Structure 1
Amino acid sequence: MNFMLKGYMACAVAAVCLAAAGCSLRKDYTVVEGVMLGTSLRVVADVEGVGKQELYAAVMELDREAKASMSIFDEGSLLSRLNRNETDSVDRHIAYCLWLADSIGALSSGRYDVTVKPLVEAWGFAGKEPAREPNLDSLLEFVGREKVAVRDGRLFKSDPRVQLDFNSVAKGYTVDLLAGLVERFGAQNYLVDIGGEVRCKGANRQGRPWRIGVETPFDGNMTDGEYVQKRVRMTDGGLATSGNYRRFYIDGQGRKVAHTIDPQTGRSAVSRLLSVTAAAPTCAEADALGTMFLAMGADDALAVAQSMPGVRVYFILAGDDGYEEYVSPAMQELIMN
């Protein structure tokens, strides 16, 4: 299973790189497609003097580097070894993700936290079968961002049973690394997309802003952009969507259990907030913000978003008769009607 569960099963962004279907391609844009982090990969960039195979090889090397660092499904990854207390040395990727988690967590009153792995595992979203009745009180003793710290390149835990899960940020962060890679190859205009999480710069082949579709969040929607609720127009930055309509199951009591966990209650964060699309300077920030708002539930997410004048978010909520939407003031200029 792909180590980026959230992105593979819950992320709801579908990149739409052409301004209209059937437009002819300009020859100065290189397109690379394939699989990265166990999910879909698409790169469209105006690199010059670089062959498609050379670019693809560099992307695959980045794929190996990211998984070797941050995967919770690869038993040999650095993150897995940190979680098993086999090492305390962190690399730059893990150090950055922890720093970003602090930044986003400070906005969330504890509703965004990367120490949720014991809870994610207990509910069956970390590669193991779910527990029938997770002992949440016991598990919550090991959850809390204040229980870990990085000092001088080493990870310190308040309890060895504390474990980290970067599924809420690592895919977005890897998108940023991929954007940096194509820029080093000389790209001035590009869109990079891993499993629907996107970072872009400049213009598409037609000289227009990149268009990115946000999928309609009905339960079980596994299509690749077939049902699009809105389109977002961007020329710079990252975009990510979090939702609970793909990665979920129904338990023995008929309750929906989704992959986004509220670290305060230890339970699945299921509410009428169906998806959150966030735009930010980096895809890692957008990824983390989307998870943060989704974990809050509808009422708290709306209240917090409305208290943050600069935040760029688009919420799709379940209403009495169809969907309701909230577009923050800062996001309105990006939404295409």
Structure 2
Amino acid sequence: MKLLKTTPVFLFSVLLFLSGCNKSAWIKNQGEVFGTYYHIIYESQDGKDRHQEVLQALKSVNKSLSTYDSTSVISLLNKSENGTQTDLHFRNVFQTGKKISAATNGAFDMTVAPLVNAWGFGFTNKEEITPEKIEALKQLVGMNYLRLTDDSIIKTHPGVMLDASAIAKGYGVDVAAQTLSDFGCENFLVEIGGEIVCSGLNSRGDHWKVGIDKPIDDPTASDRELQFIIQLSGKALATSGNYRQFYIDEKTGKKYAHTIDPVSGMPVEHSLLSASVIADDCMTADAYATACMVMGVEKSMELMQKHPEMEGCFIYSTEEGMEVSLTVGFKKYITN
């Protein structure tokens, strides 16, 4: 899993306190996981800190889906010519990823790994890029090259590899949220590298408020300006963007976005700077946000119209500056 795509900014203060004789407590946990940072805020009904339980759950996700762990399920699959045994985390993500790949006509495709690696945005070193190289690698892209059985994933082509970085972080948020729910927590916010799930209300009895970054074309910038403040409860938010992750070709000076189109095999070249998706779960929001970054503004808006269960916010560049396209339903979440 890779570093965050964008980081919504929290707009609330958190206190640890006890309330009444039932000793419920608001607790804040934070740390590092998946190569990025996480923040968790929740009302514990019994007053107990559940940080270790959540962290163990996240570590189990990492052990399944991280391409930077050579012993993870996904790494074993990538090294194998035939396939490998799976676990529940892998199966959950693979099955959802396959459905979203079909729904987006391949704009989201976990088998894009060979292309992402070749362009230098994956888990191996960048390769020499030629049209012939791209065409050869495109032959390895397609979820139909993999078949899931009860406990295994089978390859039908030995060169196929998976990269779950565009969906696994969102899934990790869902796993952390479910862990809190299993311990009776109803009011909480989980954020990992900018991907968020909000449940219930915050400590003031209000909906959770989070911010969506305004895209800034400077990966070293520390100051971040908000495009919107939105309020969430019972929903997930994921944001994908190209404006902080890219590389510049030393020979030509051309800047390449880190989002690779699985169909063309090339970095995307359009005006969309960031895509934010609100969905019922963060795994879905994460994958669709990535698909939208591949598709561009117009096709993303069309995609959202086909999926009324989701809402989208798309920030794009024009000759005059930045513009925003919102689905009708997204507007009701905006508070500023």
- TM-score greater than 0.5 by the shorter chain: yes
Q: Report % sequence identity.
A: 32
- Tell whether the 8 Å contact from 1:309 to 1:329 is kept in structure 2 after alignment: no
What secondary structure sits across from 1:16 in the alignment? coil
Shift of 1:66: 1.4
Q: Find the aligned partners of 1:322 and 1:282 in 2 and give their Cα distance.
A: 32
Q: How many angstroms apart in 1 are the aligned matches of 2:183 and 2:11?
A: 20
Q: Does 1:32 align with 2:26?
A: no
Deviation at 1:25, TM superposition (A): 6.3
Match of 1:79 among 74, 80, 97: 74
Alpha-carbon distance change, 303 to 122 in structure 1, aligned in 2, over 3 angstroms: same
The 2-side partners of 1:308 and 1:283 are apart by: 15
| Aligned residues: CA RMSD | 1.9
Partner in structure 1 of residue 138 of structure 2: 140
Shift of 1:77: 1.0
Q: Which amino acid aligns with 1:270?
A: E
Shift in Å at residue 9 of structure 1? Answer: 3.9
Q: After superposition, what is the alpha-carbon deviation per residue over 1:71-97, rounded to whole angstroms, capped at 9, x for unaligned?
A: 011111111001111752111111111
**Secondary structure at 2:46's aligned position in 1?**
coil
Encode CA deviations 1:172-225: one digit per residue, 9 max, x unaligned.
001000001111222110001111110011111111110111001122245677
- The letter for the 1-side match of 2:330 is M
Q: Does 1:177 align with 2:171?
A: no
Distance of 2:177 and 2:214 partners within structure 1: 27
Q: Secondary structure at the match of 1:46?
A: strand
Please give the secondary structure, in 2, of the residue aligned with 1:332: helix
Please say if residues 9 and 247 of structure 1, whose CA atoms lie closer than 8 Å, have aligned partners that are also in contact.
Answer: no
Q: Work out the CA distance in 1 between the residues paired with 2:321 and 2:16.
A: 38
Q: 1:331 Cα shift?
A: 1.3
Matched residue, 1:93: 89
Deviations 1:249-281 (A, max 9, x none): 111322222221100001112321000000100
- Does the 8 Å contact 1:9/1:246 carry over to 2? no
What's the TM-score, normalizing by structure 1?
A: 0.91
Q: Does 1:190 align with 2:188?
A: yes
CA distance in 1, matches of 2:278, 2:223: 19
The structural deviation recorded for 1:238 is 0.9
Distance 2:127 2:114 in 1: 11
- After superposition, what is the alpha-carbon deviation per residue over 1:48-67, rounded to whole angstroms, capped at 9, x for unaligned? 33433xx2222221232111
In structure 1, stretches of 5+ residues that fail to align are none
Q: 1:308 to 1:179 in 2, by over 3 A?
A: closer
Shifted more, 213-222 versus 113-122: the winner is 213-222
Q: Which moved more, 1:65-74 or 1:225-234?
A: 225-234
* Residues 224 and 210 of structure 1: CA distance in aligned 2, closer, same or farther (over 3 Å): farther
- The answer for unaligned runs of 5 or more in structure 2 is 19-24
How has the CA–CA distance of structure 1 residues 132 and 49 changed in structure 2, closer, same or farther, with 3 Å as cutoff? same
Partner of 1:286: 285
Contact 1:14 1:225 in 2 (8 A): no
Does structure 1 retain, via aligned residues, the 8 Å contact 2:219–2:245? Answer: no
Aligned residue identity for 1:241: T
How many residues were matched structurally? 326
Distance 1:264 1:297 in 2: 14
Match of 1:70 in 2: 65
Distance in 1, matches of 2:276 and 2:221, equals 17
**Relative contact order, CA 8 A, sep 6+: which one is greater?**
1
> 1:180, 1:82 → 2: CA distance?
27
Letter in 2 for 1:45: Y
The answer on whether the counterparts of 1:217 and 1:274 sit within 8 Å (CA) in structure 2 is yes
Match of 1:46 among 37, 43, 46: 43
Query: What letter corresponds to residue 237 of structure 2 in structure 1?
Result: L
| More displaced stretch, 256-265 vs 169-178 | 256-265
| Match status 1:16 vs 2:14 | no
Distance (whole Å) between structure 2 residues aligned to residue 147 and residue 117 of structure 1:
13
Q: What is the Cα deviation at residue 306 of structure 1?
A: 4.1
